[in-house]
Chains A and B, each alone.
Chain A
Amino acid sequence: MTLKSERMNLGNGVNLNLIKTDKFKSNLLSYYFMRPLSKDEVTKNALLPLVLKRGTDEYTTNLEIQRKLEENYGANLSIAINKRGEKHVLRFTIETVNGGYVGDRDYIYDVIDLLNSIIYNPVLEKGFFKKDYVEQEKENLKRRIEGRINDKRSYALDRCIEEMCKNEKFSIYPLGNINDLEYINEDVLYSHYQDVIRSSPIEIFYVGEYDEKLVEYIKDTKNIKRDNVLNIPREQIISSVSTKNMISEELDVNQGKLVLGYRTGIPYEDRLYNGLVLASDILGGGPNSKLFRNVREKESLAYYISTSVLKYKSIMLIDGGIEFDNFEKTIDIVKEQIEDIKKGNFTDEDIQISKKSIKSSTESIKDSIFLISEFFFSQSLSGDNRSLNQILADLDGVTKEEIKEAMSKVALDTIYFMKNSEKGDK
């Protein structure tokens, strides 16, 4: 199957992307709203989808919405609040069983109406959002922000990014800031909502079976007011390390969490970017990587240790769970392995293995209706017009020299270590 997206501009910063496939037993419709990642609006953006999914003008409570979804063969509604580089992205998705399987081809219109209402026709009270809903969701958002600490691994990664990028927008936590909640009420949030609806660049994705009638139905945006559509700038890439940070946090934990943050200075548009992706994979991508072999298999220091590249911000992160006492030993091994790649101490086979692994996971996108939509969204975000096949071919063309060169640009910026106050001192 070749994946093809038919992209049409609906005017005023709204694009519709259609991906035709009969491979799945379902259809998927997604709306992505893009905002700048900024301290001013991050908390309002994060709160907004939580309030919107509470009720529409027709289905005024969560209970009614949920029952409507269930009646439609368990149509699956999901929302997400993420940062992609320095863009804040709000996603609203609905996935439904293909009508042919349940003998009801037209119910999809009903489901599209529901998703549209959740986004565009929220339940209102005195012209604003319902006060109760806003207050309840503020409380929920507060708890979710506080709940960051529950997952120690992702908390450690977030903390490393926060410290490393403390003077950049990228450090902003996508669910916002508890202190902001105080100033947000139904009035403030509603006026922000109108701003979001009017001025956000919007990407709509439909993946599945469709005909002209359905496309026209999705395109119909007659009631939406649009003006001053934002032009969100590309994130800044910092390549030099100005101050090295060493952050150590003491928590009541049994295992130390080590995160190393590196600047690469290689933007995703750069010819070396694919080299960086491969270098990172050879270093710590999978069970065949240098870190897995040396830190886990040879020294038994960790159960997991892995490397990842944050595409939009050109940062490389290494994270592992280790004994508190093995902090220095682990860092030494990591540094040694990076030096090794810089010097070219890896084989053609290592390169082939990494290429295979990355290509395989890239190709697997085709098997998930959701990942197909995410893939094309990510292509639109980065202004990348290459087909999936072209992307695979480009990866294949990366040379050993490029991998070395990419790794030679990598510079350690921040070390974050989570340890236990008592055990760490012994």
Chain B
Amino acid sequence: MDIKIYENEKIREKLYYKEMESGLKVYFVPKQGYTKQYAIFATDYGSIDNVFIPIGEKDSIEVPEGIAHFLEHKLFEEPEQNIFDKFSKFGGNVNAYTNFNQTAYLFSSTENFYENLQLLVEFVQHPFFTDENVEKEKGIITQEINMYRDNPNWKVFFNCLKAMYNEHPVRIDIAGTVDSIQKINKDLLYKCYNTFYNPSNMVLFVVGDLLFDEIIKVVDKSERKDYKEAEEITRIFPAEPTEVKEKLIEENMMVSIPLFYMGFKDSDCNLIGEEQVKKDFVSNLILDMLFGSSSVFYNDLYEEGLIDSSFGSYFTGKKSYGHSLVVGESKDPKEVYNRIISLIDKPTESILLEKDFNRIKSKGIGEVLMGFNSIEFIANNFIDLYFDDFLLIDYLDLLESIEYKDIIERFKSHFTKDNVVLSIINPLS
């Protein structure tokens, strides 16, 4: 068998890889002594892929908001028996998620792994949509949307994205709206499915105390063989201006204290692989140095009662978009905003010290190492990085390679006063 093995001495982990004839890539991290096994079958298709040329057609279409997520729900439908039942019989705990960039189907088990794996591959590769079962799902997803509408953290986050982006579909809610999902029908679902669920656009990742040969045998036995040669998928993204759409967005909800998300929109996009993941690390290190719990800024504002332990920050970036978010609860979000603006206005060398960098990098190394304790961490991060064209096994080495000068360079280009927005949820008066 044509198997590739990657090894990393420092983290003492291995990664196995094989590409199936169908074009499906299969990866595996062995975890000896672990009770749980975990498999994720994911496609490079998320809520932002809403304008594209369907496979076999010439013209692009724009699909209703929330369709990737709707499709995720519908793949669980089978002609005779619910797929949940089948997994349950083998003791498999099956689930799925859709985010901006991927749709992933996963299960965990402590027994009958290979039987569960077969089910996973089969159900994802066998869509079964009818007018009736599509209609039925609208009720369930409406309740899911309503649940999120009552969630102030979700609201303040999406309002922030809506303020930052003018055109890019990352500003659209992943589940869509109660109205938009009404436009979804089985033909549209098949169109999306056939375009994005080709094995060449997918990856299967497995982690646990298992054998790679067995995994490959099961995949070979259960995957569909009737796929046509993969075509390049044409996804169309609108031109996104560098400028933000609105500087400030406010809403009132049933909360006890204002919530805020401050966003810095990234303009350095279109990176892929190591460059992309490095940018991710560097941006997150900067945020931690500036706003983390060991920063002077955090401790000053905490003591003044302007922020509490809910205060935090992170960067997230993909090929077509990226942003840093500084989030929390405060009695005066606008004051927190002003203080952040005056902080980043100070001379770079005075707010980003090399000794802070070294300390926080060492913390990051510890966090990555500890992350490898968890098969969920391994699986979810593998998938995320894989679609960035980067392998998790090299993650720690990349972090270790980051230097202080990377920090200074990135700070100057990303943290400016022009690309900032503020989203606030205020309590109802």
B-binding residues in A (CB < 8 A): 1, 23-26, 61-63, 66-67, 69-76, 95-97, 101-102, 132, 136, 139-140, 143-144, 146-153, 251-255, 286-288, 292-293, 296-297, 299-304, 321-323, 349, 352-353, 356-357, 359-361, 363-364, 366-369
Contacts and interface: CB of A to CB of B under 8 A. Distances in A.
Contact of A356 (B88, B254, B364): B88
Given A152-B150, A252-B254, A367-B375, A303 B140 contact: yes
A300 B136 contact: yes
A95 to B, nearest CB: 7
Contacts of B241: none
A236 B292 CA distance: 44
B35 A143 contact: no
Which 10 interchain pairs have the tightest Cβ spacing? A300-B139, A73-B366, A74-B363, A74-B366, A356-B91, A66-B294, A287-B84, A146-B256, A255-B146, A303-B143
A149 B89 CA distance: 39
B296 interface: yes
A70 B147 contact: no
A143 B36 CA distance: 39
Interface string B291-330: 0111110010011010011000000000000000000010
B362 interface: yes
B10, B152, B294, B302: most-surrounded residue (chain A CB, <10 A): B294
B237 interface: no
| Best-surrounded residue of B82, B110, B151, B367 (most CB of chain A within 10 A) | B110
Interface of B: 10-12, 33-36, 82, 84-85, 88-91, 93-94, 108-111, 136-141, 143-144, 146-147, 149-153, 253-257, 259, 292-296, 299, 302-303, 305, 308-309, 329, 359-360, 362-367, 369-370, 372-375, 428
**Chain A's interface: helix, strand, loop or mixed, by majority?**
helix
B360 A363 contact: no
A338 B144 CA distance: 25
Contacts of B329: 143, 147
Contacts, number: 184
A143 B91 contact: no
Given A300-B137, A360-B110, A367-B34, A150 B256 contact: yes
Contacts of A102: 365-366, 369
A360 B370 contact: no
A251 to B, nearest CB: 6
B303 to A, nearest CB: 6
Nearest to A21: B33
A287 B10 CA distance: 40
Contact of A252 (B84, B253, B372, B373): B253
A94 to B, nearest CB: 12
B169 to A, nearest CB: 23
B373 A369 contact: yes
Contacts of A24: 373
B150 A147 contact: no
26 contacts: A61-B299, A67-B359, A73-B366, A73-B369, A74-B370, A76-B370, A96-B366, A97-B366, A97-B370, A136-B305, A144-B308, A147-B255, A150-B152, A252-B254, A252-B428, A288-B85, A288-B88, A301-B143, A303-B140, A321-B143, A321-B146, A323-B146, A353-B91, A356-B91, A367-B34, A367-B35
Nearest to B152: A150
Contacts of A140: 308-309
B36 A364 contact: yes
Given A70-B359, A71-B359, A367-B375, A26 B370 contact: yes
A378 to B, nearest CB: 18
A253 B253 CA distance: 9
Contacts of A363: 35-36, 110
Contact of A353 (B36, B89, B293, B366): B89
B93 A286 contact: yes
A62 B293 contact: yes
Contact of B147 (A132, A255, A301): A255
A1 B209 CA distance: 12
A71 B153 CA distance: 32
Given A74-B364, A366-B35, 17 more contacts: A63-B299, A69-B294, A71-B362, A75-B366, A101-B12, A140-B308, A140-B309, A149-B255, A252-B253, A287-B82, A287-B84, A293-B82, A302-B143, A323-B146, A356-B111, A360-B111, A364-B35
Contacts of B94: 287
B309 A253 contact: no
B349 to A, nearest CB: 20
Given A66-B294, A76-B370, A367-B34, A251 B254 contact: yes
A7 B127 CA distance: 53
B362 A70 contact: yes
Nearest to A287: B84
A136 B12 CA distance: 44
Nearest to B294: A66
A115 B256 CA distance: 33
Contacts of B144: 303
A101 B93 CA distance: 33
Given A26-B370, A143-B308, A146-B257, A349 B89 contact: yes
Contacts of B364: 74
A23 B360 CA distance: 26
Contacts of B362: 70-71, 73-74
A350 to B, nearest CB: 9
Q: Which interface residue of B93, B296, B372 has the most chain A CB atoms within 10 A?
A: B93
Q: Which of B136, B137, B147, B428 has the most CB of A within 10 A?
A: B147
A70 B360 contact: yes
A68 B139 CA distance: 51
Given A74-B366, A297-B82, A353-B88, A23 B137 contact: no
A204 to B, nearest CB: 21
B328 to A, nearest CB: 11
A15 to B, nearest CB: 26
A132 B143 contact: no
Contacts of A61: 299
Given A74-B363, A102-B365, A303 B141 contact: yes
A212 B308 CA distance: 41
B34 A360 contact: no
